[in-house]
Structure 1
Amino acid sequence: MTHAIPASATIVITGASSGIGRATALAFARPGVRLVLAARRAAVLAEVAAECAQQGARTLAVPTDVTDARAVHHLAEAAAALGGGQIDVWVNNAGSGAIGEFDKVPLAAHEQVLHLNLFGYLYGAYAVLPYFRRQGHGILINVVSLGSWLPEPFTASYSASKYGLRGLMDTLRAELSSEPHIHVCDVHPSYIDTPGFQHGANYTGRLIKPAPPVFPAQKVADTIVKLTRHPRPSTMVGWSGPALRLLYQLAPQTTAWAAARLFRGYLAQAQPAPVSENSLFRPQPAPHGSDISGGWLAPAAPRGRGTWWGAALLAAAAGAYLWQQRKSGAPIPVNPTS
């Protein structure tokens, strides 16, 4: 289905100060468009707004903590005021995580991850939906995760928030099924090169890196822009996401076991790193983690044997599944569907 947003569309992006959010803001920036950018770091947000303005966009920076429902409501009001009463696109993107064994991660950190990743998106949808209903159209885009389709060990609250978010938006889509011009679109990135690993809390005592293959944030930003022209309920970014999702559907226990084993193997040899909340509770001062890239695609980036655990997981789970099928005598599907 093709959908045309106006050239002067009003677009809200949360988490716009770095990573996918910053890449998305720049991807949308063009003459005539109204960009309303939200994040906790006011100074960095102003820099992004200035970059977008240089490309011709009319920009408004609204420092916002998405865990505060009233602040998100104010964000929607500010966007509508800029857009003459209308909001055309809302991109829920702000979020973070906490890595570590479930009972070694402080309870407050688990709660904050849920507040950011689940309630922050709920607040965004709740704030913008009345505008969509009143004007009869609108596109809500949610940057979710591969983690909403399969459990990732040592990220319990992150996985819980993403699984919950998928259920929330599936339900909202069902409620809006009689309003064909209001779209709810979920984007599920694989491992992306952003500063997200520097922002999230780390309670492992080891340096955490995204598992390859790692894809550029621009790939997600381009997908988000495309969804404003061709809305669809669910889109995965990066080939490894669909592959891992399919493996988990076919062999859930084996895939989960392989993921946990490989991650523990990585932690056993990874470089030491301080236990830190990083920016989970409070934003870190600029310029830390203010870029689109986290540096994970740099050719000179150090690589330990654990950095290839994503590819190893694919091979291990696939091999175990085929072995189980042959042992049981069950037929191996030629074209399994997801």
Structure 2
Amino acid sequence: MALSSSPARGSSFLPTPPGDAAPGPAGQVVVITGASSGIGHATALAFARQGARLVLAARNPDTLAPVAMACRDAGAAAALGVPTDVTDARAVERLADTALRHHGRIDVWVNSVGVGAVGRFDQTPLAAHRRVVEANLLGHLHGAHVALRHFRTRGQGTLINLISAGGWLPSPYAAAYTASKFGLRGLSEALRAEVSDLPHVHVCDVAPTFVDSPGLSHGANYTGRNLQPRIPLLDPRAVADAVVALAQPGGAKRAVTWLGRGAGPGRVAHALAPQGVGALMRWVTDRALRSARPVPAPSDGNLFAPSRGTSIDGGMRRANHRGLARVAALDVLGLALGVWAGRQR
């Protein structure tokens, strides 16, 4: 089933033949997975304002429909919703086939699906761990597989993976999420190497720190506590703008785009003192959980059933995030330098 605001087949709309170059941002054909909420929804609207032709994917057709309509209202040349579970490789194949059937080509493929399960590793159901890895890693792999086959045939195209800083820094009580992001980072590195002989085919990563999206409230929670991070959070629209910038024809195609003030210092700190940074993150998380209010029961969240909402924001940003981010970054970097200096002595 497809939910479409694009012209029907047989109308005056004629898809561009495969191999033809996109005439610019307004002519781009963009596939976005995880498009129904959070970063994916914000990214869809950002491309819509450029006049792109959008093919939007998520598990729930009821959430795709209003997003597709909003994209049309925002200026998209076309907006098509295709219910897709990215853990199903055949479903992702059908998603790509639908995009090609309607538009004749794909210029940009954005892998934006992301789920999580928070809880101590051995107290989190194994099925939840598996589902996180299937969605975050295999879901991206399935998308990359169909996208790069098409890009190699055309000799052009841009694949964008949403990784997060979790691909470089460990997240205690989110072991499967960390494993999936570290794996996704390796996947992107390998794919960049494979297409290095194709000057117009690009594999780009966007790695934000914590984002104020509904992902945390939609995700699985086995901690017994309400999850309300007291840390600086990014606006999902800033992440969306970074994705759109990477997709611009003729624009810079950075291998990794970092977002968030703590990303750089955090990577430096982890390189200098990985155990110290891990222990600090565990301490911060433990402290936050102790002060959080209890919740009545564990929740699988949206791991096995799609979310119902389409909101972009998680509603947790605070006015003093900028100052907090600077202090947090300096604290992490200072700890790492102190541990490193002590070891040198």
Measured at CA, do residues 87 and 251 of structure 1 come closer, stay the same or move farther in structure 2, by a change above 3 Å? same
Query: 2:82 matched to which residue of 1?
Result: 62
| Match of residue 201, structure 1, among 215, 220, 225 | 220
Query: 1:123 matched to which residue of 2?
Result: 142
In the alignment, the residues of structure 1 paired with residue 327 and residue 125 of structure 2 have an alpha-carbon distance, to the nearest angstrom, of 30
Query: 2:31 matched to which residue of 1?
Result: 12
Measured at CA, do residues 323 and 243 of structure 1 come closer, stay the same or move farther in structure 2, by a change above 3 Å? closer
| Match of residue 268, structure 1, among 268, 290, 296 | 290
**8 Å contact from structure 2 (residues 34, 113) kept in 1:** yes
| Match of residue 301, structure 2, among 256, 278, 289 | 278
In the alignment, the residues of structure 2 paired with residue 75 and residue 54 of structure 1 have an alpha-carbon distance, to the nearest angstrom, of 23
Q: Are 2:158 and 1:139 equivalent residues in the alignment?
A: yes
- Secondary structure at 2:283 match in 1: helix
In the alignment, the residues of structure 2 paired with residue 203 and residue 328 of structure 1 have an alpha-carbon distance, to the nearest angstrom, of 37
What's the TM-score once normalised by structure 2's chain length?
0.87
Query: 1:88 matched to which residue of 2?
Result: 107
The letter of the residue matching 2:73 is Q
- Secondary structure at 1:11 match in 2: strand
1:312 Cα deviation from its structure 2 partner: 7.3
Query: 1:302 matched to which residue of 2?
Result: none
The letter of the residue matching 2:339 is Q
Query: 1:321 matched to which residue of 2?
Result: 336
| Match of residue 234, structure 1, among 247, 253, 256 | 256
1:211 Cα deviation from its structure 2 partner: 4.5
Please list the CA deviations of residues 81-125 of structure 1 after superposition, one character each: whole Å capped at 9, or x if unmatched.
Answer: 1212x1000000012010000010000000000000000000001
- Secondary structure at 1:271 match in 2: coil
Could you tell me the percent identity over the aligned residues? 48
Aligned length: 316
Query: 1:336 matched to which residue of 2?
Result: none
Measured at CA, do residues 29 and 247 of structure 1 come closer, stay the same or move farther in structure 2, by a change above 3 Å? same
**8 Å contact from structure 2 (residues 266, 333) kept in 1:** no
Q: Are 2:297 and 1:246 equivalent residues in the alignment?
A: no
1:79 Cα deviation from its structure 2 partner: 0.7
What's the TM-score once normalised by structure 1's chain length?
0.88
Query: 2:12 matched to which residue of 1?
Result: none
Residue range with higher mean Cα deviation, 114-123 or 221-230? 221-230
Q: Are 2:312 and 1:297 equivalent residues in the alignment?
A: no
In the alignment, the residues of structure 2 paired with residue 320 and residue 169 of structure 1 have an alpha-carbon distance, to the nearest angstrom, of 30
- Secondary structure at 2:54 match in 1: strand
**8 Å contact from structure 2 (residues 119, 222) kept in 1:** yes
In the alignment, the residues of structure 1 paired with residue 289 and residue 254 of structure 2 have an alpha-carbon distance, to the nearest angstrom, of 38
Measured at CA, do residues 103 and 29 of structure 1 come closer, stay the same or move farther in structure 2, by a change above 3 Å? same
Measured at CA, do residues 328 and 7 of structure 1 come closer, stay the same or move farther in structure 2, by a change above 3 Å? closer
CA RMSD of aligned residues (A): 2.1
1:16 Cα deviation from its structure 2 partner: 0.4
Q: Are 2:185 and 1:162 equivalent residues in the alignment?
A: no
